[in-house]
Chains A and B, each alone.
Chain A
């Protein structure tokens, strides 16, 4: 029985970790389909951003209630990873609480205390996380917080969000059934495989276990194994679910905040190609440097976007804080910054899939602009940066919108007529309105 469990454990872990690596590679390849761009060359600053914003959750706290609930689940998730070390050791060796017994055998008392501290923290945080998860489900499905129940989330995004929360509840239940079963067996004292830990029971399960100790041993072993296997299997399933879910943010928030943009939010990315062309127009002695490859103005498709915008799309957890503060969205326009990110991710996934199936020349005659994001959406943006400011993981929907606009106006020449008039006025009169440049100082006449 023991040996079957070990073999099964090794087989399942190796298979799921391999599958995860394949999926991670797929996402990496998709992101690298984007345009090359240097974001910054200041690793110290990047790490600071990552520690503050991703690890420290700084920007989450723009909404206190959601931030606290999220913090509980986040910290509990992080701390639970400690226990995973022992789960793997036990799984590979067929042992039971191997890490604790290792410390005990070596009389490393400090580490034995540390072990108890860790498990007790996991237990306390798991209880808190259980209620936080219930609160999240409630906010989403009963309270119907507007940004979490908008129709743009109908279908998979809504299901995805709820599935993750149910996963979390299940994970917590597994942890407790493992610890309670274990402790009850210790108290019963009849199974050699479950020797009493000399530190006593754990803080939460220790309170509940006595009520279970009179159950038959077989049932208790079943409860402990159910918890142990359930825990690790769910972790491995979750690992492979994440790359296909909005929940990828729990990994990609870190690189995404590291690659935050250092420039002020108001700064638009320069187009050196156009700059040099215009420079040559003014100064015939200036020869623009040769440009490699096809010259494109802005982004028509997801592959024309900077790789950072694609990383942004994968790091988005669809919380909708951006959409909630978007002035266009608040006044009933079609534009939703969250949807810009979701559609960008959909598009690059479709392109990546196409390339894997049909080779690098793959084309489906579709493009991000037009088939996934409409002209009406990108024209409604006031470039106010509210979405960028609000994002807890420093995503910029604005960069995507502006690149799409560049393509719309310069490649497709499809600007609204009023904008074309404005362009002409600027060119002819050096002002967006039809005034004569010689009247530029008329205001001073009244002085």
Chain B
């Protein structure tokens, strides 16, 4: 469909256009099948609202987050400096991303390397669009549904973003229920710090199993996430217990589905 064309930065520049905001898709959003659906949902929201954005497309590269957290500063520096060169080359000022790991590293760690941008997570962009009245959520689809929100560590504790994702869920008219461990005390899904790229160390159970158990305690219809890695981990966790009721779903998907995009 033509209204869902994705503006790529290089093409925009050739046409002499400047985007207001760059959508940083991230590796998971680009390659992981589950996260790709979130990317598409978010693109649909952006297109639907007529937001002047662009993506880097094939010029985007890993932020270097997993390498840095795993202790490999060289690989991180190579990727980060390469990305900063690309972003600065295009004169990018504002970035939105659906991945809290990309969000954290571009916002907090790129400035020391010469990459200074205003960076927002998609939950924050959605929240401000709702607040401004630009994004109106049709009630209905999630009315009365029990939704619990799993805080991403890199959004919550790492950057103190706790309310924006919850505000988006509240805007759905859904019944937001909190897990016993939430907000500042929210338990990790087990993916961060490059854990998702290797087997877990010896232990009694997997982190995502434990976190899924906590989520299922509140018996939700939807387990809302705001991170592609939380999405992977908790989807696996839900599959493991063969729970067919609860759906792990990203905030962008909730909004897109509510508005039948």
Contact = CB atoms under 8 A, between A and B. Distances in A.
A383 interface: yes
Contact of B40 (A331, A423, A446): A446
B198 A410 contact: no
B193 A332 contact: no
Interface centre among A281, A381, A421 (most CB of B within 10 A): A381
Interface in A402-444: 402, 405-410, 415-416, 418-419, 421-423, 426-427, 430-433, 435, 437-444
B128 interface: no
Nearest to B66: A432
Interface residues of A, number: 69
A379 B201 contact: yes
B31 A386 contact: no
A418 B72 contact: no
Interface string B57-100: 11011101011111111110111011001000000000000000
Interface string B175-201: 000000000110110111111011111
Given A274-B77, A382-B191, A384-B153, A330 B30 contact: no
A383 B159 contact: no
A409 B71 contact: yes
Contacts of A388: 157
A278 B78 contact: yes
B74 A278 contact: yes
Contact of A267 (B82, B109, B197, B206): B109
Given A419-B197, A438-B58, A264 B29 contact: no
Given A274-B77, A419-B70, A422-B197, A266 B159 contact: yes
Contacts of B184: 389
Given A388-B157, A410-B71, A410-B74, A278 B81 contact: yes
Interface in A327-347: 327-328, 330-335
Contact of A427 (B78, B199, B201): B78
A271 interface: yes
Contact of A297 (B39, B73, B113, B202): B73
Nearest to A441: B57
A447 interface: yes
A407 B71 CA distance: 7
B18 interface: no
B157 A386 contact: yes
A402 B36 CA distance: 30
The dominant DSSP class at the A interface is helix
Contacts of B43: 444, 447
Contacts of A410: 71-74
Interface stretch (B3-11, B138-146, B242-250): B3-11
B222 interface: no
Contacts of A408: 71
Contacts of A328: 201, 203, 207
B39 A443 contact: yes
Contacts of A277: 74, 77
Contacts of A270: 109, 112-113
Contacts, number: 222
A379 B205 CA distance: 16
Nearest to A325: B185
A215 to B, nearest CB: 55
A329 B204 CA distance: 10
A386 B159 CA distance: 13
A89 interface: no
B27 A433 contact: yes
A331 B71 contact: no
B204 A331 contact: yes
B7 to A, nearest CB: 10
A444 B193 contact: no
B211 interface: yes
Nearest to A378: B71
A290 B153 CA distance: 37
B1 interface: yes
B69 A423 contact: no
Interface string A32-70: 000000000000000000000000000000100000000
B5 A447 contact: yes
B39 to A, nearest CB: 5
A415 B197 CA distance: 12
A13 B197 CA distance: 59
B257 interface: no
A177 to B, nearest CB: 44
The residue among A263, A267, A282, A446 with the most chain B CB atoms within 10 A of its own CB is A267
A159 interface: no
Contacts of A433: 27, 31
A275 B74 CA distance: 8
Interface centre among B36, B68, B71, B198 (most CB of A within 10 A): B71
A321 to B, nearest CB: 11
A279 interface: yes
Interface in B125-150: none
Contacts of A383: 69, 153, 192-193
Contacts of A389: 157, 184-185
B71 A333 contact: no
A150 to B, nearest CB: 14
Interface of A: 62, 263-268, 270-271, 274-275, 277-279, 281-282, 297-298, 325, 327-328, 330-335, 376, 379-386, 388-389, 402, 405-410, 415-416, 418-419, 421-423, 426-427, 430-433, 435, 437-444, 446-447
5 contacts: A277-B77, A331-B205, A409-B71, A426-B75, A433-B27
Please list the 9 inter-chain residue pairs (A to B) with the smallest Cβ-Cβ separation, ordered nearest first.
Answer: A266-B158, A332-B204, A383-B193, A409-B71, A430-B61, A405-B71, A384-B188, A332-B203, A418-B198
Given A331-B207, A389-B185, 12 more contacts: A264-B107, A266-B154, A266-B157, A379-B198, A382-B207, A423-B72, A426-B64, A430-B61, A430-B79, A431-B27, A438-B58, A443-B25
